[in-house]
Amino acid sequence: MTPLEAIGLLFALLAATTVLGLVWRARQGRVARVSGDVITPADVAATVAFGPAATLLQFSTELCARCPGTRRLLGSVAEQRPGVVHVEVDLTHRPDLANRYAVLQTPTTLILDESGRVRARVGGAPTRADIGATLDAITQNTTLSTTPGSSHV
């Protein structure tokens, strides 16, 4: 291989990794609408009941840098919306839950409907607007007057 070919290969690898990095970064924090399994509080060892309208189920770890900000955001959203509850599950000592729910990064947030069915998934730190729009879509036909809240498991 000549030096010119080696430099060309180096630039091609650099360009490919840059494109892959930009694609990965653009996908962080985006809400992916899914129709998944039904999750109960017992499945994730939650000490509080899930919300009668929706549940924001956050998976985090002790060393996660973005988890505290996500906790504050989701807790704030839950407090402002009747029937919505925020539940945080620490995966540090529960790798079985990470495997069961395919959590590859923290924070990961699952948005559950009133029956506990996974309706959306967010990998990374979500935005208030995306969470709000997703909750609006999930709860558009639900009108409950309950006390919203937040919990940490």
pLDDT in tens, 88-109: 999 998 899 999 998 989 999 9
Please list the residues that pair with 111 across neighbouring strands. Answer: 56, 120
Peptide bond into 107 cis (omega under 30): yes
pTM given for the model: 0.74
Position 151 scores a pLDDT of 52
